[in-house]
Amino acid sequence: MKNIYDYSLEQLTEYFASIKQKPFRAKQVFSWLYQKDARSFDDMSDLSKDLRNQLKVEFSLDVLKIKEKQVSRDGTIKYLFELLDGSLIESVLMIHDYGKSLCVTSQIGCNMKCTFCASGLLRKQRDLTPGEIVAQIIKVQQDIDQRVSHVVVMGTGEPFDNYDNVMEFVRIINHPHGLAIGARHITISTCGLIKGIKRYSEEGIQTNLAISLHAANDEIRDELMPINKVHPMDDLREAISEYIDKTNRRVTFEYIMLKGVNDDIVYARQLAHYLRGLNAYVNLIPYNSVDEHGYQPSDKETVEIFKNELLRLHINVTLRKEHGRDIDGACGQLRAKRSGVK
Protein backbone atom coordinates (compact mmCIF):
# COMPACT_ATOMS: atom_id res chain seq x y z
CA MET A 1 0.00 0.00 0.00
CA LYS A 2 1.34 3.43 -0.92
CA ASN A 3 1.29 6.35 1.45
CA ILE A 4 -0.75 9.12 -0.21
CA TYR A 5 1.18 11.80 1.73
CA ASP A 6 4.37 10.78 -0.08
CA TYR A 7 3.02 12.40 -3.24
CA SER A 8 3.69 15.94 -4.35
CA LEU A 9 0.97 17.65 -6.38
CA GLU A 10 3.03 17.04 -9.53
CA GLN A 11 3.39 13.34 -8.75
CA LEU A 12 -0.32 12.97 -8.05
CA THR A 13 -1.07 14.75 -11.32
CA GLU A 14 1.14 12.24 -13.14
CA TYR A 15 -0.57 9.41 -11.34
CA PHE A 16 -4.02 10.56 -12.44
CA ALA A 17 -2.77 10.94 -16.00
CA SER A 18 -1.49 7.35 -15.84
CA ILE A 19 -4.96 6.06 -14.93
CA LYS A 20 -6.57 8.23 -17.60
CA GLN A 21 -8.14 10.68 -15.21
CA LYS A 22 -8.28 14.45 -15.56
CA PRO A 23 -5.25 16.23 -14.11
CA PHE A 24 -7.41 18.45 -11.86
CA ARG A 25 -8.28 15.36 -9.81
CA ALA A 26 -4.87 15.75 -8.21
CA LYS A 27 -5.76 19.22 -6.94
CA GLN A 28 -9.05 17.94 -5.62
CA VAL A 29 -7.37 15.13 -3.69
CA PHE A 30 -4.66 17.48 -2.42
CA SER A 31 -7.23 19.90 -1.15
CA TRP A 32 -9.14 17.11 0.61
CA LEU A 33 -5.95 15.90 2.26
CA TYR A 34 -4.51 19.22 3.33
CA GLN A 35 -7.30 21.75 3.50
CA LYS A 36 -10.51 19.86 4.08
CA ASP A 37 -9.14 17.34 6.55
CA ALA A 38 -10.32 14.14 4.84
CA ARG A 39 -9.90 11.09 7.05
CA SER A 40 -10.69 8.58 4.34
CA PHE A 41 -11.19 8.44 0.58
CA ASP A 42 -14.93 8.18 1.21
CA ASP A 43 -14.86 11.74 2.53
CA MET A 44 -13.81 12.95 -0.93
CA SER A 45 -17.35 13.53 -2.09
CA ASP A 46 -16.54 15.16 -5.41
CA LEU A 47 -14.78 12.02 -6.70
CA SER A 48 -16.82 9.23 -8.25
CA LYS A 49 -17.40 6.12 -6.20
CA ASP A 50 -15.37 4.07 -8.67
CA LEU A 51 -12.42 6.39 -8.42
CA ARG A 52 -12.60 6.44 -4.63
CA ASN A 53 -12.58 2.66 -4.60
CA GLN A 54 -9.63 2.53 -6.94
CA LEU A 55 -7.71 4.97 -4.71
CA LYS A 56 -8.58 2.91 -1.65
CA VAL A 57 -6.97 -0.15 -3.17
CA GLU A 58 -3.74 1.63 -4.02
CA PHE A 59 -3.23 4.20 -1.28
CA SER A 60 -3.44 4.50 2.45
CA LEU A 61 -4.06 7.74 4.30
CA ASP A 62 -3.97 6.14 7.70
CA VAL A 63 -0.24 5.70 8.04
CA LEU A 64 0.34 6.70 11.67
CA LYS A 65 -1.30 5.48 14.84
CA ILE A 66 -1.10 7.39 18.10
CA LYS A 67 0.39 4.85 20.52
CA GLU A 68 0.83 7.18 23.43
CA LYS A 69 0.38 10.81 24.30
CA GLN A 70 1.86 12.79 27.17
CA VAL A 71 0.63 16.24 28.06
CA SER A 72 2.95 18.48 30.02
CA ARG A 73 1.92 21.06 32.60
CA ASP A 74 3.00 23.81 30.17
CA GLY A 75 0.73 22.44 27.41
CA THR A 76 3.48 20.69 25.44
CA ILE A 77 2.21 17.43 23.97
CA LYS A 78 4.49 14.55 23.14
CA TYR A 79 3.22 11.94 20.72
CA LEU A 80 4.51 8.44 20.25
CA PHE A 81 3.40 7.18 16.83
CA GLU A 82 3.49 3.75 15.29
CA LEU A 83 4.22 3.50 11.58
CA LEU A 84 2.75 0.87 9.26
CA ASP A 85 5.85 -1.31 9.70
CA GLY A 86 5.55 -1.17 13.50
CA SER A 87 8.40 1.33 14.01
CA LEU A 88 7.94 3.95 16.71
CA ILE A 89 8.61 7.67 16.26
CA GLU A 90 7.98 10.80 18.30
CA SER A 91 6.72 14.31 17.60
CA VAL A 92 6.47 17.15 20.08
CA LEU A 93 3.93 19.96 19.91
CA MET A 94 4.86 23.20 21.61
CA ILE A 95 2.45 26.03 22.32
CA HIS A 96 3.93 29.49 21.76
CA ASP A 97 2.32 32.90 21.84
CA TYR A 98 2.91 33.11 18.06
CA GLY A 99 1.31 29.76 17.27
CA LYS A 100 1.72 26.01 17.51
CA SER A 101 5.03 24.53 16.59
CA LEU A 102 5.60 20.86 15.83
CA CYS A 103 8.98 19.18 16.14
CA VAL A 104 9.04 16.27 13.69
CA THR A 105 11.19 13.17 13.38
CA SER A 106 13.09 12.55 10.13
CA GLN A 107 14.71 9.14 10.67
CA ILE A 108 14.10 6.04 12.76
CA GLY A 109 17.06 6.25 15.09
CA CYS A 110 20.13 8.32 14.26
CA ASN A 111 23.71 7.59 13.25
CA MET A 112 25.35 10.81 14.39
CA LYS A 113 26.25 9.45 17.83
CA CYS A 114 26.20 12.76 19.71
CA THR A 115 27.23 11.76 23.20
CA PHE A 116 24.55 13.73 25.09
CA CYS A 117 21.54 12.76 22.96
CA ALA A 118 18.96 10.04 23.57
CA SER A 119 18.20 9.52 19.86
CA GLY A 120 21.52 7.86 19.23
CA LEU A 121 20.77 5.23 21.85
CA LEU A 122 19.14 3.48 18.90
CA ARG A 123 21.16 3.39 15.68
CA LYS A 124 19.41 4.43 12.50
CA GLN A 125 17.11 1.73 11.18
CA ARG A 126 15.88 3.62 8.17
CA ASP A 127 15.01 7.03 6.75
CA LEU A 128 11.45 8.26 6.98
CA THR A 129 9.68 8.87 3.67
CA PRO A 130 8.36 12.38 2.94
CA GLY A 131 4.81 11.21 3.65
CA GLU A 132 5.73 9.73 7.02
CA ILE A 133 6.98 13.16 8.06
CA VAL A 134 3.95 14.96 6.56
CA ALA A 135 1.61 12.55 8.38
CA GLN A 136 3.05 13.60 11.76
CA ILE A 137 1.63 17.09 11.17
CA ILE A 138 -1.68 15.79 9.84
CA LYS A 139 -2.20 13.46 12.80
CA VAL A 140 -1.41 16.14 15.34
CA GLN A 141 -3.72 18.66 13.65
CA GLN A 142 -6.51 16.11 13.71
CA ASP A 143 -5.83 15.33 17.34
CA ILE A 144 -5.90 18.94 18.56
CA ASP A 145 -8.36 20.12 15.92
CA GLN A 146 -6.20 23.14 15.21
CA ARG A 147 -3.63 24.18 12.69
CA VAL A 148 0.08 23.66 13.21
CA SER A 149 1.66 26.97 12.20
CA HIS A 150 5.38 26.25 12.60
CA VAL A 151 7.47 23.16 11.90
CA VAL A 152 10.95 22.34 13.12
CA VAL A 153 12.79 19.30 11.79
CA MET A 154 14.50 18.77 15.13
CA GLY A 155 13.16 15.44 16.30
CA THR A 156 15.07 12.18 16.08
CA GLY A 157 17.37 11.84 13.10
CA GLU A 158 19.72 13.97 11.04
CA PRO A 159 17.65 15.66 8.31
CA PHE A 160 20.61 16.20 5.97
CA ASP A 161 21.37 12.47 6.18
CA ASN A 162 17.90 12.04 4.60
CA TYR A 163 18.15 15.09 2.39
CA ASP A 164 15.87 14.30 -0.54
CA ASN A 165 12.98 13.03 1.55
CA VAL A 166 13.18 15.94 3.96
CA MET A 167 13.18 18.50 1.13
CA GLU A 168 10.27 16.73 -0.54
CA PHE A 169 8.45 16.91 2.80
CA VAL A 170 9.19 20.64 2.99
CA ARG A 171 7.82 21.24 -0.50
CA ILE A 172 4.59 19.36 0.24
CA ILE A 173 3.83 21.24 3.45
CA ASN A 174 4.90 24.58 1.96
CA HIS A 175 2.82 24.16 -1.21
CA PRO A 176 -0.09 26.62 -1.48
CA HIS A 177 -2.42 23.73 -2.28
CA GLY A 178 -0.84 21.62 0.49
CA LEU A 179 -0.68 22.66 4.13
CA ALA A 180 0.58 26.07 3.00
CA ILE A 181 2.91 26.44 5.96
CA GLY A 182 5.06 29.47 5.20
CA ALA A 183 8.71 28.78 4.41
CA ARG A 184 9.78 31.20 7.13
CA HIS A 185 7.88 29.07 9.59
CA ILE A 186 9.87 25.95 8.70
CA THR A 187 13.28 25.24 10.23
CA ILE A 188 15.71 22.43 9.53
CA SER A 189 18.27 21.66 12.20
CA THR A 190 21.53 19.89 11.37
CA CYS A 191 24.53 18.69 13.31
CA GLY A 192 26.61 20.15 10.46
CA LEU A 193 26.70 17.92 7.39
CA ILE A 194 28.49 20.21 4.97
CA LYS A 195 27.25 18.65 1.76
CA GLY A 196 23.70 19.16 3.00
CA ILE A 197 24.33 22.79 3.94
CA LYS A 198 25.73 23.42 0.45
CA ARG A 199 22.73 21.82 -1.24
CA TYR A 200 20.37 23.68 1.04
CA SER A 201 22.00 26.97 -0.03
CA GLU A 202 20.92 26.24 -3.60
CA GLU A 203 17.26 25.40 -2.93
CA GLY A 204 16.01 28.93 -3.47
CA ILE A 205 13.53 28.58 -0.63
CA GLN A 206 13.05 30.89 2.37
CA THR A 207 13.08 28.17 5.03
CA ASN A 208 15.40 28.49 8.03
CA LEU A 209 18.60 26.73 8.98
CA ALA A 210 19.64 25.87 12.52
CA ILE A 211 23.04 24.46 13.39
CA SER A 212 23.60 22.32 16.46
CA LEU A 213 26.94 23.69 17.56
CA HIS A 214 27.10 22.97 21.31
CA ALA A 215 30.79 23.82 21.64
CA ALA A 216 33.10 26.72 20.93
CA ASN A 217 36.23 24.78 20.00
CA ASP A 218 37.12 21.58 18.16
CA GLU A 219 38.44 19.81 21.23
CA ILE A 220 35.12 19.91 23.05
CA ARG A 221 33.01 19.53 19.92
CA ASP A 222 34.99 16.42 18.92
CA GLU A 223 34.06 14.94 22.24
CA LEU A 224 30.34 15.81 22.07
CA MET A 225 29.69 15.34 18.37
CA PRO A 226 31.72 12.78 16.39
CA ILE A 227 30.68 14.50 13.13
CA ASN A 228 33.11 17.28 14.11
CA LYS A 229 36.03 14.96 13.33
CA VAL A 230 34.75 14.75 9.76
CA HIS A 231 33.79 18.42 9.44
CA PRO A 232 35.79 20.53 11.91
CA MET A 233 34.46 23.89 13.00
CA ASP A 234 36.43 25.98 10.47
CA ASP A 235 35.00 24.02 7.55
CA LEU A 236 31.55 24.25 9.07
CA ARG A 237 31.88 28.00 9.46
CA GLU A 238 32.91 28.41 5.85
CA ALA A 239 29.88 26.43 4.62
CA ILE A 240 27.54 28.46 6.82
CA SER A 241 29.08 31.71 5.70
CA GLU A 242 28.49 30.71 2.07
CA TYR A 243 24.93 29.75 2.94
CA ILE A 244 24.30 33.18 4.44
CA ASP A 245 25.87 34.93 1.45
CA LYS A 246 23.70 32.98 -0.98
CA THR A 247 20.40 33.05 0.87
CA ASN A 248 20.59 36.21 2.94
CA ARG A 249 19.02 34.26 5.77
CA ARG A 250 19.97 34.48 9.41
CA VAL A 251 21.21 31.23 10.92
CA THR A 252 20.40 29.94 14.41
CA PHE A 253 23.16 28.30 16.42
CA GLU A 254 21.95 25.92 19.07
CA TYR A 255 24.11 25.53 22.13
CA ILE A 256 23.14 23.08 24.85
CA MET A 257 24.48 24.19 28.21
CA LEU A 258 26.25 21.23 29.80
CA LYS A 259 27.52 21.65 33.35
CA GLY A 260 31.29 21.81 33.55
CA VAL A 261 31.69 20.84 29.89
CA ASN A 262 30.99 23.84 27.64
CA ASP A 263 29.51 26.46 29.98
CA ASP A 264 32.59 28.39 31.16
CA ILE A 265 32.69 32.10 30.35
CA VAL A 266 35.87 31.47 28.33
CA TYR A 267 33.80 29.48 25.88
CA ALA A 268 31.30 32.31 25.55
CA ARG A 269 34.23 34.43 24.34
CA GLN A 270 35.42 31.71 21.94
CA LEU A 271 31.88 31.36 20.65
CA ALA A 272 31.56 35.10 20.08
CA HIS A 273 34.83 35.02 18.17
CA TYR A 274 33.62 32.09 16.03
CA LEU A 275 30.38 33.85 15.16
CA ARG A 276 31.88 37.26 14.51
CA GLY A 277 30.77 38.52 11.09
CA LEU A 278 28.05 35.90 10.61
CA ASN A 279 24.41 36.90 10.41
CA ALA A 280 23.55 34.61 13.29
CA TYR A 281 22.06 34.27 16.69
CA VAL A 282 22.58 31.83 19.48
CA ASN A 283 19.88 29.82 21.15
CA LEU A 284 21.05 28.54 24.52
CA ILE A 285 19.30 25.31 25.36
CA PRO A 286 18.79 23.91 28.84
CA TYR A 287 19.91 20.28 28.78
CA ASN A 288 17.35 17.56 29.39
CA SER A 289 19.27 14.93 31.30
CA VAL A 290 19.55 11.53 29.67
CA ASP A 291 20.39 9.05 32.45
CA GLU A 292 22.80 6.95 30.39
CA HIS A 293 25.06 9.82 29.41
CA GLY A 294 26.02 11.37 32.73
CA TYR A 295 25.82 15.01 31.60
CA GLN A 296 24.08 17.56 33.80
CA PRO A 297 22.35 20.82 32.88
CA SER A 298 24.26 23.98 33.79
CA ASP A 299 23.15 26.03 36.79
CA LYS A 300 20.85 28.96 36.10
CA GLU A 301 23.51 31.46 37.23
CA THR A 302 26.13 29.95 34.94
CA VAL A 303 23.74 30.19 32.01
CA GLU A 304 23.01 33.83 32.88
CA ILE A 305 26.73 34.69 33.01
CA PHE A 306 27.34 32.92 29.69
CA LYS A 307 24.43 34.70 28.08
CA ASN A 308 25.46 38.11 29.40
CA GLU A 309 28.99 37.65 28.14
CA LEU A 310 27.64 36.93 24.64
CA LEU A 311 25.44 40.02 24.85
CA ARG A 312 28.38 42.11 26.01
CA LEU A 313 30.26 40.91 22.92
CA HIS A 314 27.30 41.94 20.72
CA ILE A 315 26.15 38.44 19.88
CA ASN A 316 22.38 38.01 19.63
CA VAL A 317 21.33 35.38 22.08
CA THR A 318 18.12 33.93 23.46
CA LEU A 319 17.57 31.40 26.17
CA ARG A 320 15.22 28.67 25.01
CA LYS A 321 12.19 28.31 27.18
CA GLU A 322 11.88 24.81 28.44
CA HIS A 323 9.03 22.81 27.07
CA GLY A 324 7.79 19.57 28.46
CA ARG A 325 10.61 18.90 30.85
CA ASP A 326 8.27 16.74 32.91
CA ILE A 327 7.45 14.48 29.95
CA ASP A 328 10.83 13.34 28.62
CA GLY A 329 10.80 16.29 26.23
CA ALA A 330 14.19 15.74 24.60
CA CYS A 331 14.61 13.94 21.30
CA GLY A 332 14.20 10.23 21.47
CA GLN A 333 13.68 9.97 25.19
CA LEU A 334 10.20 8.49 25.15
CA ARG A 335 10.89 6.24 22.21
CA ALA A 336 14.07 4.90 23.79
CA LYS A 337 12.13 4.07 26.94
CA ARG A 338 9.34 2.29 25.13
CA SER A 339 11.80 0.36 22.99
CA GLY A 340 13.42 -1.05 26.09
CA VAL A 341 16.70 0.81 25.76
CA LYS A 342 16.01 2.81 28.89
Catalytic residues: 90, 331
| φ/ψ of residue 165, rounded to 5 | -65, -40
Positions in 280-319 near ligand SAH (CB under 6 A): 285, 287-288, 290
Positions in 4-63 near ligand SAH (CB under 6 A): none
Q: Is 8 annotated as a binding residue?
A: no
| For ligand SAH, the closer CB: 34 or 295 | 295
Q: Is 238 annotated as a binding residue?
A: no
Task: Please report, to the nearest 10 degrees, the dihedral formed by the alpha carbons of residues 192, 194, 199, 200 taken in order.
Answer: 20
Examine residue 256 and tell whether it contacts ligand SAH (CB under 6 A).
yes
Tell me how far, at minimum, the Cβ of 57 lies from ligand SAH, in Å: 37
Strands 64-71 and 77-83 come out as antiparallel
Q: Is 213 annotated as a binding residue?
A: yes
Tell me how far, at minimum, the Cβ of 221 lies from ligand SAH, in Å: 12
- Give me the 66-95 binding string for ligand SAH, x by CB under 6 A, dash otherwise: ------------------------------
Q: Which position among 76, 189, 247, 252 is part of the footprint of ligand SAH (CB under 6 A)?
A: 189
Q: Is 178 annotated as a binding residue?
A: no
Examine residue 243 and tell whether it contacts ligand SAH (CB under 6 A).
no
Dist. CA 326–CA 134, nearest whole Å = 27
Task: With CB under 6 A as the rule, give the number of residues binding ligand SAH.
Answer: 19
Q: Identify whether the C-beta of residue 125 lies closer than 8 Å to the C-beta of residue 86.
A: no
Helix, strand or coil, per DSSP, at residue 297: strand
- Give me the 141-170 binding string for ligand SAH, x by CB under 6 A, dash otherwise: -------------x---x------------
Q: Is 323 annotated as a binding residue?
A: no
Tell me how far, at minimum, the Cβ of 298 lies from ligand SAH, in Å: 12
Dist. CA 306–CA 284, nearest whole Å = 9
Tell me how far, at minimum, the Cβ of 268 lies from ligand SAH, in Å: 18
Q: Identify whether the C-beta of residue 201 lies closer than 8 Å to the C-beta of residue 248.
A: no
Per-residue buried b or exposed e for 41-59, using 16+ beta carbons within 10 Å of the residue's own CB? beebeebeeebeeebeeeb
Q: Find the helix packing angle between 265-275 and 300-312, rounded to 10°.
A: 40
Strands 280-286 and 316-319 come out as parallel
Instruction: Tell me the chain's radius of gyration from C-alpha atoms.
Output: 21
Tell me how far, at minimum, the Cβ of 1 lies from ligand SAH, in Å: 29
Q: Which residues form the interface with ligand SAH (CB under 6 A)?
A: 112, 114, 116-118, 154, 158, 189-191, 212, 254, 256, 285, 287-288, 290, 330-331
